[in-house]
Amino acid sequence: MYPIASHWLNYIDGDWVDSAQHLSVNNPGTAGPLATIAQASVEDAERALLAARRCADSGELTRARPAQRVSWLLRIAEEIRAVADEGAWVLCQENGKSLADARDEFIEAARYFEYYAGMADKIEGTSIPLGNGYMDFTVYDPMGVSAQIVPWNFPVSICARSLAPALAAGNAVVIKSPELSPLGMCVLVRAIVKAGLPQGAINLICGRGREVGAHLVSSAKVDQIVFTGSVPTGQSILRDAAANAIPSVMELGGKSAAIAFADVDRKQLLASVKSGIFFNAGQVCSAMSRLLVQREIYEDIVQAVVELAEGLSVGLGQDNPDLTPVVSAAQLAGIETLCRRAVDEGAVLATGGEAHSELTGHFMRPTVFRDVRADMCIAREEVFGPVLAIIPFDSEEQAIEIANGTDFGLVAGVFTQDISRAMRCVRRLRAGQVFVNEWYAGGIETPFGGVGLSGFGREKGQEALYSYVRTKNVAIRVAGE
């Protein structure tokens, strides 16, 4: 247990600064107030943009040999590891997530910096043969100023996911933290700035999305936008970014399906269901929110999943239960509304479906709907809570059709012992990532992103680094050849 400061600040142009207005941050486990944070104004956002612009234009991040950026990033990773326990406590209290998962976020954040440190001095162009009379090669320039908008569900690891490759490539950054869960990111940035980056290289502001977020993404001082969040916000940002034709990475929502064939390893599947939909109270963009089960094993799997859900421990994040509260009263109300709509449309509620009314915090009961039809809202809309929709299927063809039948395409999963069938499904599933026999397989090394309304561009892995640079071609006329 660590003491939590009662008031937190924004980090602008090398200083921690207050604002005239403050935002309240609550504890989802108790529904009570936890702390306040400076609410950045448009003027604060503008100062952060100017600082980042000055830093990017000064060349301070790129003038030295790339090995300097390697050192910065490795030092940052060390500093993050040093605050992991304290940061985890803060994140657990403000977000509701389990203390162990909150700590994992800090360790994952450190890993992003180590991983991209390994690439910071290997951003190499190519030489292009043009025959005699010419030499031609490409260089990768940083984009300049990267505006990064972060959601509340994994604020620390998502912040590091974009910040690490951006710094590795030599960009200056303005980060907008989420209103509901901004404090863990302050602990993260406090650690990061100890590495001694040039002034203005990193700025962290917390403020209203529609006000300061919208200001950032419509500013001509920004060269790139990285957004992780909901589809409507992503669409609004894309419209704002269009005015200045600002390139964007969009990591949006999902309605991802696991397909369980009759030859599935039952234990493996149930372990994946547990993490797939109940980890972080289901508030995961790549959650397993639909489970498609082949008819032969349907009754058995439904029963096992209901038993699993009913056997989950529920409690405060600090006690590391299986199921933690959702982030806010509004989030809880939205989840309950979608559950009621599902019942109205004829989905069969097998367990859960409402809040834990006897608990003070924002606790949703682990919920399983069975006999869901692909056209029901519960099979099409992102719930962002611990709610699973189980759908029966008869053939491989039908399973693929149902899995691909939403507007999203973030991840998908196949559970079978038949490798050929798994590979056929992998080819046909419309998703940025397919898990075979383990939901959430992969790591910071594996590219992540969606198709359709799940967005575009890739984060994580080597591929992500190239979202943070632009290619410049250099063509030289060689006289005398």
Question: Do strands 367-370 and 145-149 pair parallel, antiparallel, or not at all (unpaired)?
Answer: unpaired
Asked if 289 is part of the footprint of ligand NAD (rule: CB under 6 A), the reply reads no
Instruction: Tell me, letter by letter, the H, E, C secondary structure of the chain.
Output: CCCCCCEECEEECCEEECCCEEEEEEECCCCEEEEEEEECCHHHHHHHHHHHHHHHHHCCCCCCCHHHHHHHHHHHHHHHHHCHHHHHHHHHHHHCCCHHHHHHHHHHHHHHHHHHHCCCCCCCCCECCCCCCEEEEEEEEECCEEEEECCCCCHHHHHHHHHHHHHHCCCEEEEEECCCCCHHHHHHHHHHHHHCCCCCCEEEEECCHHHHHHHHHCCCCCCEEEEECCHHHHHHHHHHHHCCCCCEEEECCCCEEEEECCCCCHHHHHHHHHHHHHHHHHCCCCCEEEEEEEHHHHHHHHHHHHHHHHCCCECCHHHCCCECCCCCHHHHHHHHHHHHHHHHCCCEEEECCCECCCCCCCCECCEEEECCCCCCHHHHCCCCCCEEEEEEECCHHHHHHHHCCCCCCCEEEEECCCHHHHHHHHHHCCCCEEEECCCCCCCCCCCECCCHHHEECCECHHHHHCCCEEEEEEEEECCCC
Handedness of CA 329, 332, 336, 342 (dihedral sign): positive
Q: Which of 36, 68, 199, 230 binds ligand NAD (CB under 6 A)?
A: 230
Contacts of 420 (CB under 8 A, 6+ apart): none
Asked if 268 is part of the footprint of ligand NAD (rule: CB under 6 A), the reply reads no
Asked if 28 is part of the footprint of ligand NAD (rule: CB under 6 A), the reply reads no
Q: Which of 48, 80, 150, 193 binds ligand NAD (CB under 6 A)?
A: 150
Q: How far is the CB of 253 from ligand NAD (least distance, A)?
A: 3
Q: How far is the CB of 225 from ligand NAD (least distance, A)?
A: 9
Asked if 104 is part of the footprint of ligand NAD (rule: CB under 6 A), the reply reads no
Asked if 153 is part of the footprint of ligand NAD (rule: CB under 6 A), the reply reads yes
Asked if 406 is part of the footprint of ligand NAD (rule: CB under 6 A), the reply reads no
Contacts of 260 (CB under 8 A, 6+ apart): 269, 291, 292, 293, 294, 297, 301, 415, 416
Q: What does the per-residue mask of binding to ligand NAD show for 325-364, with x meaning CB under 6 A?
A: ----------------------------------------
Q: How far is the CB of 306 from ligand NAD (least distance, A)?
A: 25
Residue 324 near residue 292, CB atoms below 8 Å? no
Asked if 51 is part of the footprint of ligand NAD (rule: CB under 6 A), the reply reads no
Q: Which of 112, 152, 279, 298 binds ligand NAD (CB under 6 A)?
A: 152
Q: How far is the CB of 448 from ligand NAD (least distance, A)?
A: 6
Nearer to ligand NAD, 70 or 252 (CB): 252
Nearer to ligand NAD, 170 or 253 (CB): 253
Nearer to ligand NAD, 74 or 329 (CB): 329
Nearer to ligand NAD, 142 or 209 (CB): 209
Residues in binding contact with ligand NAD, number by CB under 6 A: 28
Q: Catalytic: which of 251, 336, 382, 396?
A: 251
Catalytic residue status for 251: yes
Asked if 244 is part of the footprint of ligand NAD (rule: CB under 6 A), the reply reads no
Q: Which of 60, 79, 104, 179 binds ligand NAD (CB under 6 A)?
A: 179
- Choose the binding region for ligand NAD from 118-126, 251-259, 299-307, 437-445 (rule: CB under 6 A): 251-259
Q: Which of 48, 56, 83, 237 binds ligand NAD (CB under 6 A)?
A: 237
Nearer to ligand NAD, 200 or 452 (CB): 452
Asked if 251 is part of the footprint of ligand NAD (rule: CB under 6 A), the reply reads yes
- Choose the binding region for ligand NAD from 40-48, 57-65, 245-253, 423-431 (rule: CB under 6 A): 245-253
Contacts of 64 (CB under 8 A, 6+ apart): none
Q: How far is the CB of 419 from ligand NAD (least distance, A)?
A: 28
Q: Which of 106, 116, 384, 435 binds ligand NAD (CB under 6 A)?
A: 384
Asked if 248 is part of the footprint of ligand NAD (rule: CB under 6 A), the reply reads no
Nearer to ligand NAD, 369 or 384 (CB): 384
Residues that bind ligand NAD (CB under 6 A): 149-153, 158, 176, 178-179, 209-210, 213-214, 217, 228-230, 233, 236-237, 251-254, 285, 382, 384, 410
* Active site members: 251
